[in-house]
Amino acid sequence: MELTKCKLGELITQRREKNNGSDLPICGVSKDGLIPPKQIDADTSIYNVFYRDDFIFNPARMELNSIAINDKFDRAICSSLYEVFYVHRTDLLLPHFLKLIVKQPWFTRYCEFLGQGSAREYCRFNNISEIEIEFPSIEEQRKIVQAYKTITDRIELKQKINDNLEAQADALFTLKVQNACEMRSLGSFGTVVTGKTPSTDVSEFYGNDLPFVKTPDMHGNTFITSSENSLSTLGAESQANKYLPKNTVIVACIGANAGEVAITSFRSQTNQQINAIISEYPCFLYFSVKSHTAELRALGEGSSTMININKTSFENYGIPTLKDNDLLLLEKQLGKIFRLILSNLQEIDILNETKDVLVTRLSR
């Protein structure tokens, strides 16, 4: 595939239009895209105007990739602290193809270098203009953008389906638990295990044999389907009493995420920031913990950001439950829904991998 190489400044122009008092949508920007503004009572007469397919970025946060394309509004405004540019050579570069480029790790690293590698405190439009990019023909760009959009649309659909499925399961759980007849401790539903980190001084303890789950891996999902870190067989065997089978309920017990809950989809181990419950009732326990997050956090010691829910307090915490037969029936009903959720999450993982492969040609 033939590529064209040039500086970004040859393709983009800074937009300097100020608001004339029009009542326009106000936006902030982050690495995740356009966001609601942090300050809602500001003087918007000095705000910058931007149009559809314009790029808005925060020059003080480019090392965090705080740049986004406007694909929501025909016309809107943002703080004067932000800068705006647009692609003026759309015969050579599609704005939505540039969107894929600016989200590449190399682009963020370059912006960080430009901001820190000089006397400037910010990475401004003039700095970005010096970045050299490579891109294929317009026809090839359209194919890549369309393929990327197809994948992201599918991911969004699957996420919406999962949100709906979890809402259905939550409603079923809530309805049934209204008939709870007794209180039982979390520990009575199975075995509670608090994770541990193998010595980081022994490099042989780490490898690709067993997922090693930490709280960032939870991502707010019902199931954990991947982990950033892993242990070698040697490292896992060094703490063999910490093995967790799939369908284990894990609960963050330290810090700002304390009380967050998920279910594992594979055999794993966790670090010491997680309490786990190995039980035949993972779906029931998932919602039980989720519905008592505030109460569990209240058990923790320390400040709001350094909460530590110890194992004893956790396993002794009481939750309302059902008679054994009713509990088994509810777990089966919830399990059917959760299997659909897991299947969708696994498809999302595959779609994300495909998306990453698609844009590897944009990486340096």
- 16 near 67, Cβ under 8 Å? no
pLDDT classification of 160: cutoffs 50, 70, 90 = very high
Q: What is the rounded distance in angstroms from the CA atom of residue 117 to the CA atom of residue 29?
A: 24
Of all residues in the chain, the percent with pLDDT exceeding 90 is: 79
Is the CB of residue 92 less than 8 Å from the CB of residue 101? no
The pLDDT of residue 318 is 96
pLDDT at 38 over 80: no
| Closest C-alpha among 256, 211, 255 to residue 235 | 211
CATH superfamily of 182-321: DNA methylase specificity domains (3.90.220.20)
pLDDT tier at 1, thresholds 50, 70, 90: confident
What's the pLDDT score for residue 257? 86
Minimal CA–CA distance to 162: which of 340, 325, 33?
A: 340
Burial 1-33 (b: 16+ CB within 10 A, else e): eeeeeeebbebbeebeeebeeeebebbbbeeeb
According to DSSP, the β-strands at 223-224 and 269-270 are unpaired
Are 119 and 167 a contacting pair, CB within 8 Å? no
pTM of the model: 0.84
The mean pLDDT value for 177-187 works out to 93
> CA-to-CA distance for 5 and 136, rounded, in angstroms?
9
Give residue 206's identity as a one-letter amino acid code. Answer: Y
Q: Is the predicted pLDDT of residue 120 greater than 70, yes or no?
A: no
CB contact set of 91 (below 8 Å; sequence gap of 6+) = 138
Radius of gyration of the chain (CA): 25
| Tens of pLDDT, residues 123-133 | 999 999 999 99
CA–CA–CA angle 214, 220, 226 (5° rounding): 50
pLDDT attached to residue 332: 98
Structure confidence at residue 118 as a pLDDT band (50, 70, 90): low
Domain ranges of the chain: 4-136, 143-162+323-364, 182-321
* Cβ within 8 Å of residue 355, ≥6 positions away: 148, 151, 152, 155
Kindly report the average pLDDT of the chain as a whole number: 92
- One CATH from 3.90.220.20, 3.30.1490.390, 3.40.50.720, 3.30.565.10 for 4-136: 3.90.220.20
